[in-house]
Amino acid sequence: MDIAIVVPLIVAFLGAALGAYFAFVKTRNERLWADRYDALRNVILSLEKIQANFETREMHERGVQVVTSTECERLEEEWPAARQSLRTSVATLRLLFKDKEIAAVLERYQDLNQAFLLMFGGTNIQYAVLFGEVAKNAEKAIEEAIRLAQKRCL
């Protein structure tokens, strides 16, 4: 066999193998990016629903009507499902990111859960304050999730 024929075949084979490897790595990275983006998007959308509901409830307790009664009813119906979706999305984040990368988001999520525990725990604090705490913690969690998304997904 002539070496002039074998060398180009080997080079072509190695080139094809490297091309396939890099295509696989690129596809895997793009899939990871898309999964991370979807998980962060779900976290942010769930937190937005929770925040909107409890901001509205806080304003209502203070005697200020900021949305229509129909919108209030819709927000009241949506937030429990949003809380469940948030729980599963945070679990997904833990699978897709290193703990160090999502530490701030997890901390804000824990703060939000503490606010829920305080609210549902039957304390003597006024509802407006409790609703405000939940809304404020949801807003902080949204900001952390957005910061993470901008850092890791853009």
Residue 154 has pLDDT above 70, yes or no: no
Q: What are the CA-CA distances from residue 56 to residues 21, 73, 83, 146, 148 (Å)?
A: 52, 11, 16, 22, 27
pLDDT at 151: 79
User: Which conformational region is residue 63 in: left (phi greater than 0), alpha (psi within -120 to 50 degrees), or beta?
Assistant: left
At 20-56, the pLDDT tens digits run: 777 777 777 778 888 989 999 999 999 999 999 999 9
Predicted local confidence at residue 124, as pLDDT: 66
Give 67-116 pLDDT, tens digit per residue.
Answer: 888 999 999 999 999 999 999 999 999 888 888 988 999 999 999 988 88
Q: How far is CA 8 from CA 1, 16, 21, 38, 93, in A?
A: 13, 12, 20, 44, 47
pTM exceeds 0.75: no
Q: Which of 31, 21, 17 is nearest to 153 (CA)?
A: 31
pLDDT for residue 85: 95
Provide the mean pLDDT of the chain.
Answer: 85
**Per-residue confidence (pLDDT) for residue 89, from 0 to 100:** 94
d(CA 24, CA 59): 52
